[in-house]
Amino acid sequence: MRILIVVSGYFPAQNYGGPPVSILNFCRLMSHDIDCYIVTSNHEYGSKAELKGIGEGWQLQGNAHVRYLKESEMRVPYFQKILDEVKPDWIYLNSIFDMKRTYPFLSLAEQKNIRALIAPRGELCKNAFKKKYKKMPYLWALKKYWKSRLISFQSTSEEETEAIKKILHISPDRILLLDNIPTIPDFLHICNDKRSGELFLVFLSRIHPKKNLIFALNCIRQLHGDIRMAIYGPLENPDYWNDCLQIIANMPGNVQVSYQGVVKHAEVYNVLSGYQVFFLPTLSENYGHVIAEALLAGLPVMISDQTPWNDVNKAEAGWAISLNNQKEFIDNLQKLVDMNGVEFQRISRNAIEFVKSRVDVKRIREEYLGVLHGNE
């Protein structure tokens, strides 16, 4: 079986967020069963410069063949040629609002009678689906394709399933709840050096209002003890980052905040392992790869309740808290500051055991194969 995967950006690009990680792990997991071909841009997010180390034509990247297209090649004749070359059984589209690719590939899929799986990747979830007046005309233009029985939708959370039903009016039988696949490290780490009176936090995500860094900064400025927070991620929104810098400049003397730049995906686990707690009070995540990666690194997570990881509370592997209750964030962060190494190691172990219990790779693989082979 062959799948043509369409995604706006892919490695070695580092600034496209979670979708490239989802695709990388999908191709790795399915490599013995499926031939994966990826069509993507030849540049980094927010840049027009060509990625270094890529060439013309199909490139073997890990477990997939990748075609990096120039902007001038993002046209139907090129897409038609790619379909003729690959002859895929499925087209896997990783955005609804990627207008350069989604609309033409849906049109070609209908013409050629090719099944298509659309993954909105959280684009329809509550805090991501804003400026509806701009997005609704595009959805109306795509509406004629929603009725096709060749098209199915992937959801990775109950919230996303409800959003697909409500916004796109898709019947439940065409929405497939398929988990994302996290990156599993070769070894697992438990924090052994936590001392009472200190807390070393890490924020690893895009610098964008959706990720809510300002909320995080306003929480840690109220903590007592030796507080350090490192920020990693692409500066996607310069105005928002300038607002963050103003808060950082006025931090009390016991709180140190540093920006560490962008982390390559292959280095994420090692970076996370150098800290004690992962802090991401995000407005919305349909999955949150970095949350899973932090838990696998043995880091308790301090997150909002707008992700699929709210059961960290019950597992005592972290805290998922309403954004309407900033005091609860601050109180629990202070508890972590005051916590000694023995108690902290217990939570660190809980984090690893919790995510291991959530991620059944064999089950996920079988579910994907069941869908992809279901109509053969």
Instruction: Please tell me whether residues 326 and 365 are part of one structural domain.
Output: no
Which of the pair, 187 or 293, is modelled with greater confidence?
293
Alpha helices, DSSP H, located in the chain: 18-29, 76-86, 102-112, 132-146, 158-168, 213-220, 238-249, 268-272, 289-296, 312-315, 326-338, 341-358, 361-372
DSSP notation for 31-50:
TTT-EEEEEEESB-TT--SB
User: Is the C-alpha dihedral spanning 358, 359, 362, 367 positive or negative?
Assistant: positive
User: Would you state the structure tokens that stand for residue 52, as one six-digit string?
Assistant: 């270094």
Write phi, then psi, for 292 (nearest 5 degrees). -60, -40
| Pairing of β 318-321 and β 301-304 | parallel
Instruction: Please tell me whether residues 155 and 303 are part of one structural domain.
Output: no
Separation CA 294–CA 286 (nearest Å): 16
Instruction: Please tell me whether residues 30 and 84 are part of one structural domain.
Output: yes
Tens of pLDDT, residues 210-267: 999 999 999 999 999 999 999 999 999 999 999 999 999 999 999 999 999 999 999 9
Q: Is residue 187 part of a domain?
A: no
Q: Helices 326-338 and 213-220: crossing angle, nearest 10°? A: 50
Q: Is residue 163 part of a domain?
A: yes
- Single-letter amino acid, residue 226: D
Beta carbons within 8 Å of 147's beta carbon, 6+ residues apart: none
Lowest mean pLDDT among 23-27, 161-165, 185-189: 185-189
| Average model confidence (pLDDT) across the chain | 94
Separation CA 330–CA 289 (nearest Å): 24
pLDDT score recorded for residue 367: 95
* Tally of structural domains, the chain: 2
Q: Is the pLDDT of residue 29 over 90?
A: yes
Residue with tokens 């490239």: 20
**pTM above 0.85?**
yes
Beta carbons within 8 Å of 302's beta carbon, 6+ residues apart: 201, 277, 278, 279, 280, 281, 318, 319, 321, 329, 332, 333, 336
pLDDT score recorded for residue 133: 56
The whole-number average pLDDT for the span 172-200 is 87
Asked whether the beta carbons of 76 and 44 are under 8 A apart, the reply is: no
Instruction: Please tell me whether residues 304 and 271 are part of one structural domain.
Output: yes
Q: What single-letter DSSP state applies at residue 57? A: S
The whole-number average pLDDT for the span 17-38 is 96
Instruction: Please tell me whether residues 353 and 233 are part of one structural domain.
Output: yes
pLDDT score recorded for residue 141: 80
Q: Is the pLDDT of residue 276 over 70?
A: yes
Residue with tokens 């697992």: 188
Which of the pair, 144 or 20, is modelled with greater confidence?
20
Q: Is residue 64 part of a domain?
A: yes
Instruction: Please tell me whether residues 89 and 212 are part of one structural domain.
Output: no
Q: Is the pLDDT of residue 182 over 80?
A: yes
Q: Is residue 189 part of a domain?
A: no
Tens of pLDDT, residues 79-112: 999 999 999 999 999 999 998 999 999 999 999 9
Q: Is residue 193 part of a domain?
A: no
Instruction: Please tell me whether residues 55 and 162 are part of one structural domain.
Output: yes
Q: Is the pLDDT of residue 376 over 60?
A: no
Q: Is residue 29 part of a domain?
A: yes
DSSP notation for 292-334:
HHHHHTT--EEEESSSTTTTHHHHTSEEEE-TT-HHHHHHHHH
pLDDT score recorded for residue 131: 63
pLDDT score recorded for residue 83: 98
Q: What single-letter DSSP state applies at residue 264? A: P
Write phi, then psi, for 180 (nearest 5 degrees). -70, 165
Instruction: Please tell me whether residues 286 and 172 are part of one structural domain.
Output: no
Instruction: Please tell me whether residues 80 and 214 are part of one structural domain.
Output: no
Tens of pLDDT, residues 349-359: 999 999 999 98
Separation CA 101–CA 103 (nearest Å): 6
User: Would you state the structure tokens that stand for residue 73, as one six-digit string?
Assistant: 């090649």
Nearest of 160, 154, 148, 66 to residue 111 by alpha carbon: 148
Instruction: Please tell me whether residues 240 and 225 are part of one structural domain.
Output: yes
Which CATH number fits the domain that encloses residue 102? Answer: 3.40.50.2000
pLDDT score recorded for residue 200: 97
Q: Which domain holds residue 50?
A: 2-181+360-372
186: confidence class by pLDDT, cuts 50, 70, 90: confident
Q: Is the pLDDT of residue 277 over 60?
A: yes
Q: Is residue 192 part of a domain?
A: no
Tens of pLDDT, residues 121-143: 999 987 777 666 577 888 888 88
Instruction: Please tell me whether residues 351 and 219 are part of one structural domain.
Output: yes
Instruction: Please tell me whether residues 131 and 168 are part of one structural domain.
Output: yes
Q: Is residue 186 part of a domain?
A: no
